[in-house]
Structure 1
């Protein structure tokens, strides 16, 4: 295998911004990406992640800040001058061209010799496991195979960065799992640097070395998958990194890394994230898998069961507190609708955030 990623040290976004009229789609985003990293830009629709990727690619001009590849400022350059590989959500393949011609299109536009194009297209097709498919048209391939063609086209030009914009969103669940593994395998094989846009937390957690969580055009938190999953700095990051129950309360006391929060007649202890103060408003964030019915007479959050679903080994319960707050939890046994439960969690699995939501 002679296809490899182009060499560089780092890509740096320096207070990068993009306005559409009065709407600030991207606001002062600063981020440094090292060679070989797999970075996921994660967030809900409209958070600015695809706009950020398009700014890096050169498909949109920035209205503030700059982009640097090592010591070279690249934001004034046209997309083709940046030399990045791009994988789009809709594949963007030429329907009248064979797989081989689609993969080699970028090389042909660069004036690469025919023999070199043949060699590199063959290597790229083998890397994405499309041997024997290169004479077919895109319409003769499955969705997963078309996505492999798009990836091969992006990597065959040996770019310093591969930019992927929700590349798996059009595939079914099984294909998404398979392609997820393939994308990471290709990234590792090439020693590539990948920036990957997704709204799927599971994709980001399974693929990325670091995740950049965005909201309203701004970076909310950057960190490794395990760190963001277990130690989010903000309530919105906690909610986005996998579903969590959110319960309002008031801080009764703070001792070291833990706070006691009053919720109605109950007191719940959890780990402090951010700044909380006795007497202040607080929010508890608790994953359903960490919330269980307490033993008879035990302390916890009181709720009325709405329904339960059997999930193979356990039951998922859906309940509602007196103030209307919905709580999801796990139980070993089915609980009939209308039954009263007291729900509790290990304090180290409960996160406490201060202030408004």
Structure 2
């Protein structure tokens, strides 16, 4: 056995085999975790690899074993606390199962998402967890599935992809909070989202390509129609993509003759922007405006007042998506499942009822 380590930092299987006094094929079996060898040989190879500071060539290993030990994850916005927490759930389960996560950000752009999927497939990931930017443009996801790569959809489903899907009960959550606002006398209720259309106007839920947001808007409109409120489609405001756009939209609403008495923010990033705009303009929450946000982000409980939220099981969404993918990778060949996790309305101090003397006036405007 030659104990002299190679001078080249790129230690190879052949180097490990030479130090361990075994054949290259035997060393490869030990280092790759496949085949059968004696305990004595395994210990010799493992010790040699440790002494040489051997690092496996993952691409070579994947070509030998058919596994890279990696899971690719594509989300819409890694700066959004929602996705950050969901990815934490994914990585915790993946690590327990022996997988490493490669995270990519689509920026809610389909072309960027397509490039990310191509790059992850080129890296031979064992499976994919994707939060699609658009439900109406999933050809690249279909292609990935046809290539044999298992896939799970996170937070956003698809009507055409027959894969495991994990979503929150967004529609009923939006119904519940809208009913709560209506019961408190609110009639001018705005729903604000980053989703957009070419002319920046909402007409039908089918205009919204992001499934989770579409379900929330559908729930919002169902509760409004159930209460006999007409024309509430006009209160769905689109395009809050950046703080500047959110400020423009919210300022226009708040300075209008018929300003909203309540705003439902479709995510916590928009909710925080609305809160800051109100603070800067001297608008008192909840006396002048009630505010509700989807996602129980950390900031929502420490503001004055603390903000009423729809608490989504975000960590559990990621956790469940990863569990379903690991099950597929371990041989589960059953039919695709759709898992819907419950949400919770957390009432704090950012919602107030409309005073009785204003309630009848507001009702007349919308009934």
Higher fraction of strand? 1
Higher fraction of helix? 2
Give the structure, 1 or 2, with the largest relative contact order (CA under 8 Å, sep 6 or more): 2
Which TM-score applies when normalising by structure 2?
0.26
Which TM-score applies when normalising by structure 1?
0.26
